[in-house]
């Protein structure tokens, strides 16, 4: 079977990323589109993007070797027809949904993903604020079922790259809402603004990569509402623009938590793998607790999206 | 695309983006315009808190807030064009160091920068703040 020469999507798209950011900056300035760029924040995001590409190149061998080893044990051999590529893309998009959801719900994975949410701005440069430690977390094993099913590793890498490329343009405030049919099926700037917001209403929602249908299917979809405009960033915003500190701060935090004296092994395990916001002495709050706190102040919101089942 | 072409694109692109953002005012630093602004910014993140008093630094980049729940101090600091907030407990404070124009606050938090609170040190207001902070950490 001939394997097509799939391009490195992320690398090839770099000129497009640059051009799109320039256009967004100019449209904010001259067309009065919504959005804001800040010099140091943007350089932090760009540095994170470059670091992510470098880390990807350095550690690619881990994934490549693992997937090719696994591919020997596939149950079927899919080809590379347009239908198979589309099928692989859709299945990988569902894989992305769960990987992304785990990235928010378990601190070990959150430590890697948190940097993407660390900017208080929301513009195209935020899309490039990517992890340096993705391979290290081991979450790539969620792609293994696709390999075992019989999709070629290079095809899986290719559709994964396309998925990330799709997500670039949705990191903007310059586009409001798109036609209803598009908003119903695809992830859009509006849906993804919700995902990047730290308002209690929007926490832990809209994990989709390309198709928003996964959030609707698995109960995590929350629409953007004008009465509660997204405030971007994380619950405890960072006090730095330093890319290395942004990339590693949560790991250092985990280390400090684990080294506290007097903890049981169960408590140490929870500091590593429980939901972000866990603390053995209840001194911190996770997203469910923050939502309940909000409902204490706004009980009329109890039946609204983002708060269902939180009372 | 060759790696050289990629590097040139990134370098030139980042430079052009940086220049444009700076020219369009993207390097301006945020300031808390008033005590009320500090109060409102804090309440955005900690909506349920009751604030009794606010102290704003002379450069309007830092505010301390006295909260109804006396176990913690409220903090609002500017970072670039935005702000970050904290609820600080006794055990979170590493040191408070007196200076001729105010004091430094240092926390145990990972990668937290020392905060410089600028003040008119001979005012009663500033003495009240020091007195309040002294309940949480010895000032040296």
Does position A311 have pLDDT exceeding 60, yes or no? no
Per-residue pLDDT tens over the stretch A230-264: 999 999 999 999 999 999 999 999 999 999 999 99
Q: Read off φ and ψ for residue A142, nearest 5 degrees.
A: -65, -15
Nearest to A215 by CA among A192, A182, A189: A192
Per-residue pLDDT tens over the stretch B109-133: 989 999 999 998 889 999 999 999 9
> Which chain A positions have a beta carbon within 8 Å of B41's beta carbon?
none
> Which chain A positions have a beta carbon within 8 Å of B84's beta carbon?
236-239
What is the mean pLDDT of the segment spanning A184-199?
98
Secondary structure letter of residue A210 according to DSSP: S
**Structure ipTM:** 0.92
pLDDT value, residue A125: 97
Element containing residue A126 per DSSP (H, E): helix A124-127
Distance CA B35, CA B57 (A): 10
Nearest to B64 by CA among B27, B32, B95: B32
Least confident of A135-144, B24-33, B68-77: B68-77
A interface residues, B as partner, C-beta within 8 Å: 11-12, 14-15, 17-18, 21-22, 25-26, 28-29, 36-43, 46, 50, 120-121, 125, 231, 233, 235-242, 245, 249, 252-253, 256, 283, 293-294, 296-297
pLDDT value, residue A97: 98
State percent of chain A over pLDDT 90.
Answer: 93
Cα dist. A52→A55, A186, A237, B5 in Å?
5, 26, 21, 18
What is the mean pLDDT of the segment spanning A197-209?
97
Does position B7 have pLDDT exceeding 90, yes or no? no
Distance CA B2, CA B134 (A): 60
CB contact under 8 Å between A41 and B13, yes or no, is: no
CB contact under 8 Å between A43 and B16, yes or no, is: no
Mean pLDDT, rounded, of chain B: 92
Nearest to A29 among B6, B24, B45 (CB): B24
Distance CA B69, CA B87 (A): 10
Distance CA A130, CA A113 (A): 8
Secondary structure letter of residue B108 according to DSSP: S
Distance CA A77, CA A251 (A): 40
């Amino acid at each position: 079977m001939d394997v097509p020469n799939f391009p490195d999507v992320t690398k090839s798209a770099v000129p497009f990323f640059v051009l799109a950011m320039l256009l967004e900056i100019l449209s904010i300035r001259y067309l009065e589109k919504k959005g804001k760029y800040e010099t140091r924040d943007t350089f932090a995001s760009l540095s994170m993007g470059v670091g992510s590409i470098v880390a990807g190149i350095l550690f690619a061998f881990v994934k490549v070797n693992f997937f090719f080893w696994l591919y020997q044990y596939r149950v079927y051999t899919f080809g590379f027809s347009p239908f198979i590529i589309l099928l692989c893309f859709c299945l990988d998009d569902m894989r992305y949904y769960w990987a992304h959801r785990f990235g928010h719900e378990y601190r070990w994975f959150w430590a890697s993903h948190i940097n993407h949410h660390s900017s208080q701005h929301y513009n195209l440069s935020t899309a490039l604020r990517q992890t340096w430690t993705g391979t290290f977390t081991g979450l790539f094993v969620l792609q293994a079922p696709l390999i075992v099913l019989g999709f070629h590793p290079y095809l899986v890498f290719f559709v994964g790259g396309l998925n990330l490329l799709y997500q670039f343009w949705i990191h903007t405030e310059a586009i409001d809402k798109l036609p209803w049919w598009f908003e119903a099926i695809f992830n859009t700037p509006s849906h993804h603004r919700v995902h990047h917001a730290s308002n209690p209403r929007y926490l832990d929602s809209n994990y989709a990569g390309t198709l928003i249908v996964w959030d609707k299917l698995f109960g995590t979809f929350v629409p953007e509402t004008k009465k509660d405009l997204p405030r971007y960033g994380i619950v405890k915003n960072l006090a730095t623009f330093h890319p290395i500190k942004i990339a590693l701060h949560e790991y250092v935090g985990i280390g400090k938590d684990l080294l506290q004296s007097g903890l049981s092994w169960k408590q140490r395990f929870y500091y590593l793998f429980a939901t972000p916001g866990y603390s053995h002495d209840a001194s911190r709050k996770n997203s469910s607790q923050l939502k309940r706190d909000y409902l204490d102040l706004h009980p009329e919101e109890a039946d609204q999206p983002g708060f269902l089942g939180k009372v | 695309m060759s790696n050289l072409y990629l590097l040139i694109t990134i370098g030139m692109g980042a430079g052009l983006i940086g220049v444009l953002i700076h020219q369009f005012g993207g390097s301006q630093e945020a300031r808390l315009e008033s005590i009320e602004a500090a109060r409102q910014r804090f309440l955005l993140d900690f909506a349920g808190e009751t604030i009794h008093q606010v102290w704003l630094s002379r450069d309007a980049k830092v505010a301390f807030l006295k909260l109804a729940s006396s176990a913690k101090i409220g903090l609002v600091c500017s970072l670039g064009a935005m702000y970050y907030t904290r609820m600080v407990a006794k055990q979170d404070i590493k040191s408070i160091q007196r200076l001729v124009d105010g004091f430094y606050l240092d926390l145990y938090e990972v990668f937290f920068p020392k905060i410089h609170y600028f003040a008119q040190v001979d005012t009663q207001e500033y003495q009240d703040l020091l007195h309040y902070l002294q309940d949480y950490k010895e000032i040296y």
